[in-house]
Amino acid sequence: MTPDAEDPEITIEAPDARLIGAALIRREAALAPDKPGVYRMLGHDGEVLYVGKAKSLKKRVLQYAQGRFHTQRIARMVALTHEMVLLRTDTEGEALLLEARLIKALKPRYNVLLRDDKMFAEILVRKDHEAAQITKHRGAHTIPGDYYGPFASTSAVNHTLDTLQKAFLLRTCTDSVYASRTRPCMLHQIKRCSAPCTGVISLADYSDLARQAHDFLKGKSRSVIDRLSKEMMQASDEMDFERAAHLRDRVRALNHVSLSSSVDLREEEADVFAVFNEGGAACVQVVFYRAGQNWGDRAYFPRVDQEDDAGSILDAFLGQFYQDRQVPRLILVSHDLHEADLMMEALSLKAERKVQVLRPQRGDKCEVVQHALNNARAALGRRLAESSAQSKLLQGVCEAFGLDAPPMRIEVYDNSHLGGTHAVGGMVVAGPEGFLKGQYRKFTIRDLDTRPGDDYAMMAEVFRRRFMRLIKEKDLPEGEKNFGRPDLVLVDGGQGQLDAVLAVMSELGLEDIPIVGVAKGPDRDAGMERFFMPGRLPFMMEPKSPVLYYLQRLRDEAHRYAIGANRQKRDAAITKNPLDEIEGIGPRKKRALLAAFGSGREVGRATVDELMKIEGISAALAQKIHDFFHGG
């Protein structure tokens, strides 16, 4: 995007500060440029109320001042406007992309807002190693390699990875494991890896396997299967039955995936979007098709207004959805977009190639969209039913703990360690929509004064770090905050844990946040929990109370999350090799040292003279290795 170089952002303030709403907008429209761009409407405290794009900023802004054809929602928004910020762009397509980016960052109150967003999992074939590694990936594309996706679920990624291992025998091990192997691992024995680490396959032949995997994931599955079938027949004709059987197994694995899609999109790369809205709520079902295969689907529940129709929801949703994702060549939608040509222009601009947005009327594509629409309708029904039940539970929590209102944000804390090692704290978040997993946080215990296994001190450290962040972010705009303010805090533990965190909250001046300790019953029996609150005697709830079951679920989720974080730290420590930390030791020297001594610990016990006997280890490097292990 290339906004005008000279003063592209214009903040127009009324000379009379008392002007707000339509009067303010009318004055600003007279000064707005007749060019494409994006506008922001701000409230009295700087809150971003709305972000919109326009082919002509002057004409679009003026429409808000006319007072005609406004829905009640837009009328409220206009009345609350105290300031406008305009940003010019070269084209309307660039304005659409900028609008979507700002909506996602600022989360304006009156925009259709994509929620429950997360980075989808992908498959990565790395290119920064002599033997390409295939692995599951989530996040930014910072590692050199080919990325394939998105996959809507972890299970879809794992299923595809399993097939690719059977069909192409690509390694999944880390570089450190690859470098330390002296003989093929179990994956080679069960025909899931071609063992490039020990030279069982040449690097040239291994690269050919990686190319075949690339072709398959890019939709050329038929040509890959045909090629392997010819090699299988040739091996059979040459009486090489073992190789023929191996190729047969690979062909079977690929055929299984190729035929698993219930609807044939003729190997097109496509995303499907179906929206169903009812009663001021909406569900957008997204389905991913890549290489002729269904790579999974996911339901989104964007924030919408009762007056939004399906077309406007899709208009807003698509722009935000593709902000940080690759755009496929074909997008299928369940309803006509209000600005379909503009959407295609903007997405083509982002993808740097032609992108089609179609609403199919018949055939396989129409069947795919209809299936997604049925799923969206069912998902929204389940969502509304769950929301009703969730509201009753939150009302019950409010009554049980004497809160002023049902809590919209509940934070639950637990710690985990193993004999005092790898200590970590976990925070899970829940609200009217269930668990908000994108807002979970892990806290590595860092305070050196904390005795190993001191649960009180660990909990106090977690609270101090979490709520100091809340204080620092207090004056930031809503869209820039990483942590919200909780309406209720649950702590896994009894009076001791509660006293520890209350002292921290008093120190930070946050005594007004309700905090409850949840202690397990005798013999850790579920249903016998005791609850601790400041100013109240410990109490219990009815053993079969739905509210008690709900609180148990919250506590158990925090426990699961903290234990998982602790296990990740332990696993990372187990697989870490001390040789990786020594400068000057690459994969080959590391492999030579491990082959000679057996393990990193034995390398540490070796003398300088013994280290110098290893090929490639100079006297200076041998001394550096020895000093590393002996504190030199």
More confident residue, 256 or 317: 317
Q: Quick one: 532 and 622 in the same domain?
A: no
Residue 526 located in a structural domain: yes
Residue 181 located in a structural domain: no
- The mean predicted confidence, pLDDT, of the chain is 82
Residue 2 has pLDDT above 50, yes or no: no
- Give the CA distances from residue 596 to residues 228, 376, 606, in Å, rounded to whole numbers and listed in that order: 40, 60, 11
* pLDDT given at position 322: 86
Residue 200 located in a structural domain: no
Q: Quick one: 465 and 415 in the same domain?
A: yes
Q: What is the pLDDT of residues 39-70, one digit of tens each?
A: 988 888 778 888 988 888 888 888 887 766 56
Q: What is the pLDDT of residues 106-160, one digit of tens each?
A: 888 888 777 655 567 888 888 888 888 988 888 778 888 888 877 766 777 787 7
- Give the CA distances from residue 114 to residues 66, 100, 321, 377, 601, in Å, rounded to whole numbers and listed in that order: 30, 10, 7, 18, 51
Instruction: Look up tokens 């929590």; give the residue.
Output: 397
Q: How confident is the model at residue 340 (pLDDT cuts 50, 70, 90)?
A: confident
Q: What is the pLDDT of residues 499-546, one digit of tens each?
A: 999 999 999 999 999 999 999 876 555 667 899 999 899 999 887 788
Q: Quick one: 421 and 537 in the same domain?
A: yes
- Enumerate the β-bridge partners of residue 122: 137
Q: Quick one: 441 and 545 in the same domain?
A: yes
Report which residue type is found at 216. Answer: F
The two structure tokens encoding residue 252:
């079977």
Residue 496 located in a structural domain: yes
Q: Which of 482, 480, 491, 540 is nearest to 513 (CA)?
A: 491
Domain that holds residue 45: 21-111
Residue 502 located in a structural domain: yes
Residue 204 located in a structural domain: no
Residue 517 sits at φ, ψ, to 5 deg, of -90, 135
> Which of 335, 362, 382 is a domain's end point?
382
CATH number of the domain to which 40 belongs: 3.40.1440.10
Q: What is the pLDDT of residues 570-583, one digit of tens each?
A: 777 666 677 777 88
Residue 248 located in a structural domain: no
Q: Quick one: 585 and 561 in the same domain?
A: no
Q: What is the pLDDT of residues 206-224, one digit of tens each?
A: 998 888 888 877 766 667 7
Q: Quick one: 373 and 440 in the same domain?
A: no
Q: Quick one: 523 and 619 in the same domain?
A: no
Residue 16 has pLDDT above 60, yes or no: no
Count of structural domains, the chain: 4
CATH number of the domain to which 431 belongs: 3.30.420.340
Residue 12 located in a structural domain: no
Q: Quick one: 424 and 562 in the same domain?
A: yes
Residue 433 sits at φ, ψ, to 5 deg, of -100, 10
| C-beta pairs of 442-447 under 8 Å, 24+ apart in sequence | 442/561, 442/565, 444/569, 445/415, 445/417
Cβ–Cβ < 8 Å for 21, 80:
yes
Q: What is the pLDDT of residues 618-628, one digit of tens each?
A: 999 999 988 88
* pLDDT given at position 599: 73
478: which DSSP letter? G
Instruction: Look up tokens 């019953």; give the residue.
Output: 521
The three-state (H, E, C) secondary structure of 338-404, written as one string: CCHHHHHHHHHHHHCCCCEEECCCCHHHHHHHHHHHHHHHHHHHHHHHHHHHHHHHHHHHHHHHCCC
Q: Quick one: 453 and 585 in the same domain?
A: no
**Cα–Cα dist 427/537, whole Å:** 26
Residue 318 sits at φ, ψ, to 5 deg, of -60, -45
Q: Quick one: 486 and 542 in the same domain?
A: yes
* pLDDT given at position 80: 87
CATH number of the domain to which 357 belongs: 3.30.420.10
> Which of 365, 382, 399 is a domain's end point?
382
**Cα–Cα dist 304/145, whole Å:** 38
Cβ–Cβ < 8 Å for 473, 482:
yes
More confident residue, 516 or 475: 516
Q: Quick one: 537 and 588 in the same domain?
A: no
* pLDDT given at position 292: 66
The two structure tokens encoding residue 610:
């013994």
Calculate mean pLDDT across residues 7-36: 68
Cβ–Cβ < 8 Å for 275, 314:
yes
- Give the CA distances from residue 59 to residues 65, 489, 514, in Å, rounded to whole numbers and listed in that order: 10, 49, 50
> Which of 542, 573, 604 is a domain's end point?
573
* pLDDT given at position 248: 81
More confident residue, 8 or 265: 265
